[in-house]
Amino acid sequence: MREQYMRNGEGFLLVYSITSRVSFDELRQFHQQIQRVKDRDTFPMVLVANKSDLESERQVSTQEGRDLAKSFSCPWIETSAKQRYNVDEAFHQVVRDIREYNRLQESREAERQKIIMEQDAALKKKESCSNSRFCCTVM
């Protein structure tokens, strides 16, 4: 069921609790699973460190979170759902990343289509030249 959600997802918030080493350590598996299901090395994701209001119970350092986000090539943000701190910003960030990703994908697809059309035109011209006795280009 999880893979079905991953297949349909356009972006992901990878959330861990700063008070739980286990939740942090499991993120690598989720990240790899998303890459496998989406069949891409990069995809819109934001790494979210939740429960920043429980600093005294911290098990995962800020630097560890930032380092993991860097290895995933994604933004990192610290939040507190309880205090409603940075929660909206985390969602806004993933939406911005999705929009940018889609814009880049559309641009790449347009460029790919342009290349295909140019190759088709060149092939048709070559075929028409080889099928007639005369072929010239007027410039």
- Give pLDDT tens digits for 66-116: 999 999 999 999 999 999 999 999 999 999 999 999 999 888 887 878 778
Confidence of residue 136 (pLDDT cuts 50, 70, 90): low
Confidence of residue 18 (pLDDT cuts 50, 70, 90): very high
* β-bridge partners, 76: 47
Q: Residue 111 has what pLDDT? A: 80
| Whole-angstrom distance, CA of residue 131 vs CA of residue 126 | 9
The total of other beta-carbon atoms located within 10 Å of residue 134's CB is: 5
Q: Could you tell me if 55 and 80 are in contact, meaning their C-beta atoms sit under 8 angstroms apart?
A: no
Residue 25 in this model has a pLDDT that exceeds 60: yes
78's enclosing H/E stretch is: strand 76-78
- Which residue do the tokens 């140019």 mark? 118
Residue 134 in this model has a pLDDT that exceeds 70: no
Residue 14 CB burial class (10 angstroms; 0-12, 13-18, ≥19): buried
